[in-house]
Amino acid sequence: MNKIEELVKNGRSMMDECRFDDALGFFEQALLLNQDDPDLWNNKGIALRSLGRYEESMECFNRSLEIEPRDRHAS
């Protein structure tokens, strides 16, 4: 498992435990390694939305769609 996969796995685990701040940290670390992955932006957007940070989450979802306009996973 590469570093990004490990970070995403940890982030998703934190999301499952409703630890959204911790999840956000993992997704942000993954984005530092690859800013061109729409799934990473989508994950960050989900974490932000869960924290009630709606404007920031929309920015992440829009970034995800800019990278992959047909991203069927964009929330």
Q: What is the pLDDT of residue 13?
A: 98
Buried b (16+ CB within 10 A) or exposed e, 43-74: bbbbbbbbeebeebbeebbebbeebbeebeeb
Token pair of 56 as six digits? 């920031």
pTM given for the model: 0.90
The 10 Å Cβ neighbour count of residue 24 is 22
Tens of pLDDT, residues 3-20? 999 999 999 999 999 999
Among residues 70, 59, 9, 67, the alpha carbon closest in space to that of 34 is found at 67
Q: What is the pLDDT of residue 50?
A: 98
CATH of domain 3-67: 1.25.40.10
Q: What is the pLDDT of residue 74?
A: 55
Tens of pLDDT, residues 28-73? 999 999 999 999 999 999 999 999 999 999 999 999 999 988 756 6
